[in-house]
Amino acid sequence: MTSVMHEDGPRGAAGMKRNGNASMRRLIAEGAKGPIGLVAALVVLIVVFSFLNPRFASIENLQNVLFQVSVPLILVVGATLVIQMGSIDLSVEGIMGAAGMAWILLSPNTRTMIDLGMWAWLIALGLGLSLGLMTGVIYAKLKVPSFVVSLGTWYVGLGIAILLYGNNSLPSLTSDALARWPTGLTLGLPHSFWLAAGVLLFGLLISNYTNLGRGLMAIGNNEPIARTSGMPVNVYKIGAFAIAGLLGGLAGILATMQLGSGSTDIGFGQLFVGIPAAVIGGTALGGGEGGMTRSALGVFLLIILNNGLVLAGVDPDYQSGVFGLILLIAIIAVAWPERGRLKVAK
Amino acid sequence: MTTLTTKLAGPTRRAFGAAAVAAAMIASLGASGAAAQSVEHPEGFNPDEWVIVASVINTTNPYMISNIEGAEAISEALGIPLEIVNSNNSSQTSISSIYAILASGKKPIMFVNTVASSDAPTIVEAVKQAGGYVTIWWNKPDEYKPQNVGDNFVAFQKHTGVDSGRCGAQALAEALSGEGNVILLPGVQDSTTSKTRVAGFKAEIAENYPGITILEERPSNWDPQLGGRNARDLIVKYGDQIDGVWSADDGMQIGAMQSFENAGLLDQVKFASDGLYPKTLEDIISGRGNNAIVGETFHRGYMASAIGLYTAYLAASGQIVPSELEDNKRESFFKLSCVTPANYEQYLQYDAEGAPAEFVSRLIENGPWDTEPVPLVGGGVEVLPES
């Protein structure tokens, strides 16, 4: 169980059963299996991009990257919890739309003359939490695959956002303090990143130091055993989706603040940052493996790659192709030493 | 046996219950009865046999919402019920939803804002089979012409992208006194609308403003957030070298402006784009960022859908015979106005309460090709200028 509970998944097997030149191979495997492989891939990217454009390594760009990383970083914490138990949550874009729209309409904006202050946050976060709870309850109690339930929640969320938006004009923030908060700096780093870092810490604590975190990993490894050992499996499942919903709501609010305007499509494209980032980081879609740190590094890999390609001046016609190619090379390099143990092999 | 029956009946009953609730919801949502009619139909035209259909790409984009408003106004004026098709950004959803409406038995008078150019032939063929009449807006394959298909494909209509790009280029270059560096944020890279707007922008700069340098273009998929992210990356790359930003639509401009504001550069940079969204209008009126917005184009979604549907209605009711129309009324370009901070006020009236209904009443009076501010100005296949 210890290995299952470990942040970076079960460790011992690969290295310890080998002999002969095993120690060298073990060293490589151990290194690449942990975040070291990912960190190495990131360092290589950073060095190459800095060489191509010295501005890449500037403080200004560091702040820019941390600003861009913050929304997907919040989302990947929820996504990792759900994926670790072998499920999937597709609802983030809908939840972000609903929560973001609810928040801006209840905060100082050009559309409504309402400013509920902290209540706006609580209502919007409550909306995200409720949608997450709904997904969790339907999934756990009615035994509907999470893929299907969360797809439904995505559209329910989007529907709520559209109803709130109505046929009126785009609401924009009228409070300078709120609009500037995400870019404001504390200790040289943007506030939006501090918020995301706080969420990541919360995710790490849940994952490593609570029954819920350990339970989710156990469910992902072997649900029947987790059930027979008396674990409240359904509660954990609902809990994971509820947290993912809550964080989806928070990401929706932050994205709305970053844009300065409300949009029903505020979560557009985020699903395909969060889930791939978690998987790139080594969180197996089959569940039972991976961890928050690795998922976070996956987010950094995706965002830095995109940012670096723009700064390197790669022609837009080639950008998608080059992005995919570098990503493939990076993932193969990171996953090569443990290819025999990957859960998804077909 | 009893147990077995009960076991089966439980879920079945629940399934029926759920289906009934869903059906009731759909019925209540779909019941958009026709309201007060203001048009006398010609003899022999029975409105009860027809349904007005407006197919839009999604229901979240302000332009698409405006498309729906135009369809509602024309439905009300003609006294014919309306069905909205929400394509959810998917050609497949669009086509299957249209098939479902066609199967209802009523003949469609249809406006389609196509998701992709390649959708047009499939949709037109289905409408033709159902005995309906359709007008396509914005996207169709160049070689697929209404004149070759028949009267059921009444017309293809659009505002030209090249003119939109030229408007933006003129405004931006004039505001920079003909000297400076600009970045471009096109939409989805392979979209015809984006390509034509970009081509127009570049051609205008190449022909008339040699002092303007295009530093870089970054397609931003019509997405405000991606527009904002790309703008941030380009700010890091070029810093205060950037004097102007052109975006292929206002959504991306909203994101880009926020990024420049966050970087403390909004006061030093000029912006031009397409669409004159209400938010953009607010920024022009308030003079945000030292009058940062210098150029826009004016057109409205409700005008497009109303023109498209009214043209299709005229064909359906026999008041026009499409095959007898001139070519530019089958493949039509409608006027696009260049808007600047100096003339924006004359466009405020088109966003006032009840503006779509007012436009529709003038449309019915003047016909689809002569209604200000969007009369017919040309036709054919839009040719991209060399730049």
Q: Containing domain of residue B174, as a range? A: 162-298
Given B248, B269, B298, the domain boundary residue is B298
Q: Give me the pLDDT at residue A5, please.
A: 40
Q: Do A64 and B234 touch (CB under 8 A)?
A: no
Considering only CB atoms, which chain A residues are within 8 Å of B277? 169-170
Q: What is the ipTM of this complex?
A: 0.81
Q: Mark whether B283 and B310 lie in a shared domain.
A: no
Q: Answer whether residue A15 is part of any domain.
A: no
Give yes or no: residues B263 and B305 share one domain: no
- To test the contact with chain B by mutation, choose from A49, A50, A53, A183 the residue with the greatest count of B C-beta atoms within 10 A, namely A183
Q: What is the CATH number of the domain that holds B328?
A: 3.40.50.2300
Amino acid at A288: G
Q: Domain boundary residue among B298, B318, B351?
A: B298
- Would you give the DSSP letter of residue A323? H
Burial B39-73 (b: 16+ CB within 10 A, else e): bebeeeeebeebbbbbbbbbbbbbbbbbbbbbbbb
Structural domain includes residue A175: yes
Residue B385 lies in a domain: no
In this model, does residue A287 exceed pLDDT 90?
no
CA distance B229 to chain A (A): 7
Same domain, residue pair B224 and B131: no
Q: What is the DSSP annotation of A258-315?
A: HHSB--TTTTTT-HHHHHHHHHHTT--TTSS---HHHHHHHHHHHHHHHHHHHHTT--
Asked if residue B368 lies in contact with residue B307, where contact means CB atoms within 8 angstroms, the answer is: yes
Number of structural domains in chain B: 2
Question: Which DSSP string corresponds to A96-149?
Answer: HHHHHHHHHHHSSBSS-----THHHHHHHHHHHHHHHHHHHHHHHHS---HHHH
Cα separation of B55 and B310, whole Å?
15
The boundaries of the domain holding residue A117 are 38-341
pLDDT in tens, A163-179: 998 766 778 899 989 98
Q: Which chain A residues are Cβ-neighbours of B60 within 8 angstroms?
A: 158, 161-162, 165, 263-265
Residue B5 lies in a domain: no
Q: Do B106 and B215 share a domain, yes or no?
A: no
Residues B102 and B117 in one domain: yes
Angstrom distance (rounded) from CA A84 to CA A32: 20
User: Residue B16 falls within a domain, yes or no?
Assistant: no
**B254 and B186 in a common domain:** yes
Partner-chain residue, chosen from A58, A179, A268, that has the shortest CB–CB distance to B223? A268
How far apart, in Å, do the first and last CA atoms of chain A sit?
27
Using the Cβ of A259 and the Cβ atoms of chain B, whether some distance falls under 8 Å is answered with yes
B contact residues 270-329, partner A, Cβ 8 Å cutoff: 277-279, 282
Cβ neighbours of A260 in B, within 8 Å:
254, 258, 261
Distance from CA of A202 to the nearest CA of B (A): 26
User: Residues B125-176: pLDDT tens digits?
Assistant: 999 989 999 999 998 998 999 999 999 999 999 999 999 999 999 999 999 9
Please identify, among B249, B277, B298, the residue that sits at the C-terminal boundary of a domain. B298
Contact A3, A12 (CB under 8 A): yes
Query: Within this chain, do residues B89 and B177 fall inside the same structural domain, yes or no?
Result: no
Residue of B nearest to A184 (CA): B262
Q: Tell me: the pLDDT tens digits for A12-23?
A: 344 444 444 555
**Are B167 and B256 part of one and the same domain?**
yes
A7 falls within a domain: no
pLDDT at A214 over 60: yes
Q: Which two tokens stand for residue A116?
A: 């509920």
* B106 and B140 part of one domain: yes
Q: Each residue of A88-99: pLDDT tens digit?
A: 999 999 999 999
Residue A289 scores a pLDDT above 50? yes
Q: How many structural domains comprise chain A? A: 1
Hey, are the CB atoms on A259 and B224 less than 8 Å from each other? Answer: yes
B144, B185: one domain? no
Please indicate, yes or no, if residue A149 is contained in any of the structural domains: yes
**Within a domain: B111:** yes
Do B142 and B222 fall into the same domain?
no
Predicted confidence at residue B384, as pLDDT, reads 86
A141 lies within 8 A of chain B by CB: no
The verdict on a CB contact (< 8 Å) between A317 and B217 is no
Lowest mean pLDDT: which of A145-159, A235-249, B6-20, B298-312? B6-20
- A129 pLDDT higher than 80: yes
User: Which residues of chain A lie closer than 8 angstroms to B255, CB-CB?
Assistant: 259
Exposure letters A127-144 (e unless 16+ CB within 10 A, then b): bbbbbbbbbbbbbbeeee
| B21 belongs to a structural domain | no
Task: Find where tokens 């919402």 sit.
Answer: B65
| Residue A28: pLDDT band with limits 50, 70, 90 | very low
Residue B95 lies in a domain: yes
Per DSSP, A172 falls in state B
Q: Phi, psi at residue B273, to the nearest 5°?
A: -160, -160
In which residue ranges of chain B is pLDDT below 70? Answer: 1-37, 387
Query: Is residue B175, in this structure, part of any structural domain at all?
Result: yes
For residue A306, the distance in angstroms to the closest alpha carbon of chain B comes to 9
Q: Which of B184, B233, B257 to mutate to test the interface with A (most CBs of A within 10 A)?
A: B233
Instruction: Check A64 against B232: CB less than 8 A apart.
Output: yes
Q: What CATH number does the domain containing A132 carry? A: 1.10.3470
* Domain-located, residue B20: no
Q: What is the largest CA-CA distance in chain A?
A: 74
Residues B257 and B330 in one domain: no
A30 or A251, higher pLDDT: A251
Q: How far is CA A212 from CA A127, A201, A291, B302, B326, in A?
A: 22, 15, 14, 52, 71
Q: Which residue has the tokens 């996207």?
A: B139
* Spatial distance between the Cα atoms of B348 and B319, rounded to a whole number of angstroms: 33
Supply the DSSP string of B132-179, one letter for each residue.
-EEEEES---TT--HHHH-TTEEEEEEE-HHHHHHHHHHHHHHHTTT-
pLDDT of residue B221: 86
What end-to-end distance do the CA atoms of chain B give, in Å?
80
Give, for B293, the enclosing helix (H) or strand (E): strand B293-298
